[in-house]
Amino acid sequence: MPTAIFENNSEKPLRFVVSYDESQYEIPSRGQVGIRYNLETGEKDQTMTIMGDGEIEFWCNSVNYEIDIVPPSKTDLLLYELCVIMGFCGWSGDHIMDFIPKAGIVNATIFAQSAFLGDKHKLPPQTEREARWFEDIKSLFIKYYGDNEIPTEQFLDYIRLPFESESV
């Protein structure tokens, strides 16, 4: 069963239109949509995608399809803001996720420490500027998860592609 997946990397929702019947779906900012469709025996898979301003139009040669929309998780949004807005994207092959504990808990301090290590900064912060960054990163974690400790599994349970029943 062929599947196509599209991701909305914009700040605004994106319209997804299935050309066959003009059905419309909204992909939230940072979300994904998948379309899975059946082909008749021996039928060749043919698709066409038209990208427009705020819209994706998808055509396939099948009348039977299903849609799965996956909104972004808190961790998706947190990592996006950390990297794209704050500039902590990792350095030279390292990434914040390499330094998040694989078991136990994650809190604002552990998250900020992991972000610093992923960006090749020393701990504790060495300058006033780095100390402000560290506090800003802690505040970012609190924005999404509150001032709580959360199980690492909950923090890491953020990757789900369309049509996967559970996070990977």
Task: Give the residue-averaged pLDDT of 77-93.
Answer: 87
Q: Is the separation of the CB atoms in 16 and 56 below 8 Å?
A: yes
The neighbour count for residue 73, using CB atoms within 10 Å, is: 19
Break the chain into its structural domains and give their ranges.
Answer: 3-70, 74-156
As given in the structure block, the two tokens for residue 155 are 């923090």
* pLDDT tens digits for range 30-46: 999 999 999 988 989 99
pLDDT at residue 121, rounded to an integer: 87
Task: Give the residue-averaged pLDDT of 111-118.
Answer: 94
Q: Who has greater pLDDT, 157 or 154?
A: 154
The pLDDT confidence band at residue 94, using thresholds 50, 70 and 90, is: confident
Q: Is the pLDDT of residue 168 over 50?
A: no
Percent of the chain's residues with pLDDT above 90: 72
* pLDDT tens digits for range 43-54: 899 999 999 999
d(CA 118, CA 104): 19
Task: Give the residue-averaged pLDDT of 49-60.
Answer: 95
SS3 letters across 124-151? CCCCHHHHHHHHHHHHHHHHHHCCCCEE
Task: Give the residue-averaged pLDDT of 135-161.
Answer: 90
pLDDT at residue 92, rounded to an integer: 65
d(CA 142, CA 131): 17
Q: Is the separation of the CB atoms in 4 and 47 below 8 Å?
A: yes
